[in-house]
A and B are shown apart, each in its own frame.
Chain A
Amino acid sequence: MKIQLSSSTLVLIVISIAVNIIGGQISSIIKLPIFLDSIGTIISALLAGPWVALLTGLLSNLLSGLVSGPIAIAFAPIAMIIGLTAGLLARANLFTTLPGVILSGVVITLALTLIAVPIRVYLFGGTSGSGADFIIAYLHAVGEGLFLSVSFTVIGTNMVDKILSAIIAWLLIRHLPQRTRRNFPQIARVR
């Protein structure tokens, strides 16, 4: 079976990857303690479904790795699970109201935690080189397992980021021109 993406879908993936990369840069420009590198992946999920979003997440991190360094490549499975989960939630019509979008952000965070924690523990010894390491070290020192300690910080650092990313992606799709929406028969209900 040969799968061929339409030209519009190809352009959507390209734009989404660029939005992911630039989102991370916006976060550092205005010095916010969040990642903002999943907005494009969620846009893909809303417009073209979970599999295209999964591909967007994978390519985003591969290209980020090629542009800025290889750490992002190690986190590619997390970006993929974000896209897949967002796409499935969009198909379940959770992106129709603001509470649904916030709930989606929470579910995405919990789903990515399942993938992020083993990666952080096995590839990076549970550390990230950020301030969250103090919390991990403290929890680990007082007797919590490394997996649980890392889980707490992954949820803590991602919850606000993913809720905010889901809201921004939702707002963008709601205001998308009708001529653009017509290119995506798989588009999720967003209102």
Chain B
Amino acid sequence: MHPFTSLTIWLWVCASSLLLPLSWPLVVLSGTLFLALLSWPAARYRWRFVAWLMIPMALGLWMVHSGWLAHWLTGVPLDTRRQQYALSLWLRLLVIISSAQIWLQYVSPGRFISALFASRLPIGFSYLLAGPLLLVEQLRQQLAHIREAQIARGVPLDGNIWQRFCALPALILPLAGQVLSELSVRGAALDLRAFRAVPRRTTLNAPADSRAQSMIRYGLLALILIEGGVRWWW
């Protein structure tokens, strides 16, 4: 499946979950997606990210909206009117986060970059979307080298919070300074390669697309608008 098609399906699932009231379909959808994440071996490790986000969120929503805290602290009668709202919000977030993790596992950044460059988007815009994904990996490696070098110099990156705040410039200034000093060279390299001289470039190994998938994408986007319109109307 083309990355844009799976992205549109994810958007449709998210939009539909936002429009569902607190009911069995919402409970089943959220549970199914989380179970799907757990049952896909390649994506299973991502459950930790979902749990790491959703468990504190559940605690926060409970504290703010359950009414118990106000009841305990001030003695006012227990007000449980917001509990349903909090539960439906949590289930919707579970749908969005779980399905996002499935999509992220399904579409690697490399495939997404290829799809962007092969798309009908202006080449400059495609570069803006794909360039950072390529650059971040380089910066991550440089950061690892800088971190090792600073630890060797005795910079207290594992010290107390004040020491860690003081050590922050030792990490970020060399990293960002170096990449910014390359700015004019990278800009000149784009011009030398006649970047944007032609509106579209041929992409090697472009993800396979078809007219049917294109129609599905437009159809799902239209469906999102229709669902939103129906919900707004009622």
B132 close to A39 (CB less than 8 A): no
Q: Does B36 contact A (CB under 8 A)?
A: no
Binds A, one of B27-35, B61-69, B207-215, B219-227: B61-69
* B89 contacts chain A at the CB level, 8 A cutoff: yes
A118 contacts partner chain B, Cβ-Cβ < 8 Å: no
Task: Choose among B53, B85, B184 the residue that contacts A179 (Cβ–Cβ < 8 A).
Answer: B184
Within 8 A of A (CB), among B131-173: 131-133, 135-136, 139-140, 143, 147, 157, 161, 164-165, 167-169, 171-173
* Cβ A5 vs Cβ B124 within 8 A: yes
A26-B171, A136-B64 known; A32 vs B165 contact (CB < 8 Å)? yes
- The answer to whether B179 and A15 touch across the interface, beta carbons within 8 angstroms, is yes
A115 in the interface, Cβ–Cβ < 8 Å? no
Contact call A15/B180, Cβ cutoff below 8 A: yes
* Size of the chain A interface, CB-CB below 8 angstroms: 67
Docked Cα-Cα span, A172 to B173, in Å, equals: 7
Which one, A5, A14, A29, A182, contacts B132 given CB within 8 A? A14
* Max chain A Cβ within 10 angstroms of own Cβ: one of B57, B74, B128: B128
Query: In the complex the two chains form, is A43's CB within 8 Å of B176's CB?
Result: yes
Contact indicator A129/B173 (Cβ below 8 Å): no
Chain B CB within 8 A of A127 CB: yes
Q: Which residue of A lies closest to B14 (CB)?
A: A70
B41 contacts the other chain (CB 8 A): no
B165 touching A175 by the CB < 8 A rule?
no
- CB pair A32 B180 closer than 8 Å: no
Q: Contact at A141–B70, with CB atoms within 8 Å?
A: yes
Decide: A18 and B124 in contact? CB cutoff 8 A: no
How far, in whole Å, are A14 and B112 apart by their CA atoms in the complex?
16
CA distance A146 to B86 in the complex (A): 14
Q: Are B180 and A176 in contact (CB under 8 A)?
A: yes
Q: Give CA–CA (A141, B72) in the complex, Å.
A: 9
The verdict on A168 contacting chain B, using a C-beta distance below 8 Å, is: yes
B136 lies within 8 A of A125 (CB): no
Interface contact B69-A141, CB-CB below 8 Å: yes
A125 with B64, Cβ < 8 A, contacts A7-B195, A59-B132, A70-B14 known: yes
A129 to B93, CA, bound (A): 12
* Residue picked from A5, A12, A129, most chain B C-beta under 10 Å: A129
Report how far A4 CA is from B196 CA in the complex, Å.
10
Question: Contact: A59 with B128, CB < 8 Å?
Answer: yes
Q: What's the Cα separation between A123 and B191 when bound, in Å?
A: 43
A4: which B residues are within 8 A, CB to CB? 124
Residues of B within 8 A of A136 (CB): 60, 63-64
CB closest residue in chain B, given A6? B187
In the complex, which of the residues A10, A138, A171, A172 contacts B128, with contact meaning CB atoms closer than 8 Å? A10
Q: How far is the CA of A136 from the CA of B73 in the complex (A)?
A: 14
Tell me the complex Cα distance, A4–B190, Å: 14
A30 CB–B CB distance under 8 Å: yes
Contacts of A22 in B (CB 8 A): 136, 139-140, 143, 175
Partner of A39, one of B60, B104, B147, B172: B172
- Known contacts A22-B143, A134-B63, A168-B169; 10 further A-B pairs (Cβ under 8 A): A7-B188, A21-B132, A29-B171, A43-B180, A67-B104, A69-B97, A125-B89, A141-B73, A171-B173, A175-B177
A–B pairs, 18, beta carbons within 8 Å: A10-B128, A10-B187, A15-B135, A15-B180, A15-B182, A15-B186, A18-B132, A18-B179, A21-B132, A26-B175, A39-B176, A60-B132, A68-B104, A124-B57, A124-B89, A137-B64, A141-B72, A168-B168
Q: Could you list which residues of chain A lie within 8 angstroms of chain B, going by C-beta atoms?
A: 4-8, 10-15, 17-19, 21-23, 25-26, 29-33, 36, 39-40, 43, 55, 59-60, 62-63, 66-71, 124-130, 133-134, 136-138, 140-143, 146, 164, 168, 171-172, 175-177, 179-180, 182-183
